[in-house]
C-alpha cells in the first residue's frame, strides 16, 4: 500500500529531514585526510542526541552505526570503522533520523582533499541525476519518469546506475512501498499523487553496474573496482510540486 501523507505529517517528516541534513553538514565539515569513518559516525550520533532524534540505521537488520560510509568502489552500506580517509578518496555518507515516529533518509558523496577530475565529474553526474529525478516529481507523472530521468542523466554523463538497489517510499517506516528504481520508461509505473513521499537515491558508477557484497554482509562494492557515488533526498509530492524534506 502506498500512503499519502497529510500536510501536518509532512511537516514532521521535514523536521526529521532537517536532522538528517544537519548530520550531513557536520560529516561534510569534518571529512578530511586522516579522519576515520568511525569519527564521522560519532559526530552524526551527537546530532541525533542534540535534536532528540533516533536513528533508523542503527540496528536495522543489525546494522551497527548511524551512518553508512562507503569509500571509493564501495557503493552503499559501508560500515564506519577504523578506515582512515586519504586525499583522493571519495566518500558517500547515507543516514537517517526519526522524529515522533516519522523518518528522513538522505545521502551525498564528496571528495576527500584533492580528487581527480574523473571523480569530480562522477560526483557531479550523481548529483545531477538526483536533481533531474526531483524535477519530474510532479502530480500526474509516474515512477517510470523518475527512473528515466535518473538513468538518462547518468548515461549522458558517461556513467551507469545500479539496478539491484532502489529508492523507496518513506514515512512511518524508512522503507515503504513503492520501490523507486533508478531506471524506467517515461509514463510507465505508478502515477505520482499529492501526499506521496519518496526517497529517491541514484547509485551511479563510473564503470559497469555489476556489484558484489563484501564478507561483512553489508558493504556493496562495484565488481570491476570502479568508483561509485550515492545521492539521496526524501521528497514530498505536492500540488505545488516536489518538496525536498532533507534540507537544512
Ligand atoms: Mg539512505
Ligand atoms: Mg533510502
Tell me what percent of the residues of the chain surpass a pLDDT of 70. 100
What is the pTM for the complete model shown?
A: 0.98
Q: For residue 167, give the nearest of 192, 38, 37 by alpha carbon.
A: 192
Give the tens place of pLDDT for each residue, 170-206.
999 999 999 999 999 999 999 999 999 999 999 999 9
Instruction: Please answer whether residues 53 and 46 qualify as being in contact, where contact means their C-beta atoms are separated by less than 8 angstroms.
Output: no
Predicted confidence band of residue 240 (pLDDT cuts 50, 70, 90): very high
Asked if residue 99 is part of any domain, the answer here is yes
Number of domains in the chain: 1
**Ligand 2 centroid to 6 CA: how many Å?**
21
Distance from C-alpha of 121 to C-alpha of 102, rounded to nearest angstrom? 34
pLDDT for the residue numbered 123: 98
Asked if residue 2 is part of any domain, the answer here is no
Range of the domain at 196: 7-244
**Ligand 2 centroid to 169 CA: how many Å?**
9
Asked if residue 1 is part of any domain, the answer here is no
Q: For residue 46, give the nearest of 18, 69, 66, 21 by alpha carbon.
A: 66
- CATH value at residue 239: 3.90.230.10
Give the tens place of pLDDT for each residue, 125-167.
999 999 999 999 999 999 999 999 999 999 999 999 999 999 9
**Ligand 1 centroid to 67 CA: how many Å?**
9
Amino acid at each position: 500500500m502506498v500512503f499519502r501523507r497529510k500536510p501536518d505529517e509532512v511537516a514532521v517528516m521535514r523536521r526529521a529531514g532537517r536532522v538528517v541534513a544537519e548530520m550531513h553538514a557536520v560529516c561534510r565539515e569534518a571529512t578530511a585526510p586522516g579522519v576515520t569513518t568511525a569519527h564521522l559516525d560519532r559526530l552524526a550520533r551527537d546530532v541525533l542526541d542534540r535534536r532528540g532524534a533516533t536513528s533508523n540505521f542503527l540496528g536495522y537488520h543489525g546494522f551497527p552505526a548511524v551512518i553508512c560510509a562507503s569509500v571509493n568502489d564501495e557503493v552503499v552500506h559501508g560500515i564506519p570503522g577504523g578506515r582512515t580517509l586519504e586525499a583522493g578518496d571519495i566518500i558517500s555518507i547515507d543516514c537517517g533520523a526519526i522524529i515522533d515516529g516519522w523518518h528522513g533518509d538522505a545521502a551525498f558523496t564528496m571528495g576527500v582533499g584533492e580528487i581527480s577530475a574523473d571523480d569530480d565529474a562522477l560526483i557531479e553526474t550523481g548529483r545531477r541525476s538526483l536533481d533531474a529525478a526531483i524535477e519530474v516529481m510532479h502530480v500526474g507523472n509516474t515512477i517510470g519518469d523518475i527512473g528515466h530521468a535518473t538513468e538518462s542523466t547518468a548515461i549522458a554523463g558517461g556513467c551507469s546506475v545500479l539496478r539491484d538497489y532502489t529508492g523507496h517510499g518513506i514515512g512511518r517506516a524508512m522503507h515503504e512501498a513503492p520501490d523507486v528504481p533508478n531506471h524506467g520508461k517515461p509514463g510507465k509505473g505508478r502515477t505520482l499523487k499529492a501526499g506521496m513521499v519518496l526517497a529517491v537515491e541514484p547509485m551511479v558508477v563510473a564503470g559497469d553496474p555489476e556489484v558484489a557484497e563484501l564478507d561483512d554482509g553489508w558493504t556493496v562494492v562495484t565488481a570491476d573496482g570502479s568508483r561509485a557515488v550515492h545521492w539521496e533526498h526524501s521528497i514530498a509530492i505536492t500540488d505545488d510540486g516536489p518538496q525536498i524534506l532533507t534540507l537544512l
